[in-house]
Amino acid sequence: MTEITMETLEGRLIAQRKLIALLLARLPEAERPALWEYLAERSTMQDAQEDPGAVPTVGVGLQVAIAEEFRLIAEEAQRHAGRDRG
């Protein structure tokens, strides 16, 4: 099996992010506010700690990466939506 490099994985992720953002931006304008809210809720890591860095938690890096990806998708989608308006 061919090993995939980190550069290849990153390139694929960026391409998928851009496509997802474009598709989301093309949704009917009436459906967008709920989508922006959904993405905003997921772009911040949710835990019950007052100081999230105080106690190291297994898997926190993955949670941060997921939240960051939601944020990046939201930003890209909103940029596309703004361009569509002219």
Per-residue confidence (pLDDT) for residue 44, from 0 to 100: 87
What DSSP string describes 1-26?
-PPPPHHHHHHHHHHHHHHHHHHHHT
Longest dimension (CA), the chain: 47
Per-residue confidence (pLDDT) for residue 52, from 0 to 100: 55
Return the structure tokens found at 55.
Answer: 């106690």
pLDDT digits (tens, 9 = 90+) for 23-80: 999 999 999 999 999 999 999 876 555 555 555 566 788 899 999 999 999 999 999 9
The reported pTM is 0.76
pLDDT digits (tens, 9 = 90+) for 33-43: 999 999 999 99
pLDDT at 4 over 70: yes
Residue whose tokens read 């939601």: 70
Classified as helix, coil or strand, 61 is: helix
